[in-house]
Amino acid sequence: MLTVADLGVEPLRQLFAAHGLILHEVPPGAAIPGSYWGEPEAGLVGNRLYVRPDTPVHSVLHEGCHYLCMDAARRASLERDAGGDYAEEDAVCYLQIHLADRLPGVGRARMCADMDAWGYTFRLGSAARWYAEDADDARQWLVAGGLLA
């Protein structure tokens, strides 16, 4: 699985900065504030996204996309659990795959492979098949919310 150490923190920081999400690096071995799944997974607290060098990139994108998909009221009280419903969760997964193309050396294929390796589950058996064949509702959710054209 591709980690923050493999990619570097700057491309991730730049990806989310325009949306008001601030990426914070946590030293190796330190606790990750706001991590829903536990370390080394990314953590969310308010408008802060916490990562360590061993945090998987798919986790950073997933938690960051949760932030992008929620309204201001949920952002204001955000700590660890992004919440949301099934439709939003699908939209988050779609957006993380879509945004992977903006990161050097990542891309959709790598993101889908890492999501599958981590244990994401999709009706069609893989993230790539879901994204290509069964995610139109997630895409439409993002279009309706102004997150995709």
Q: Domain locations in the chain?
A: 4-76, 86-144
Cite the DSSP H helix spans in 1-144: 4-7, 9-17, 57-69, 72-76, 86-99, 107-118, 127-133, 136-144
Enter the tokens of residue 75: 């952002």
pLDDT per position as a tens digit, 47-97:
999 999 999 999 999 999 999 998 888 888 778 777 777 889 899 999 999
Enter the tokens of residue 91: 């939209």
pLDDT per position as a tens digit, 119-146:
777 777 899 999 999 999 999 999 999 9
pLDDT per position as a tens digit, 21-46:
999 999 999 999 989 888 999 999 98
Judge if pTM exceeds 0.85. yes
Distance CA 30, CA 116 (A): 27
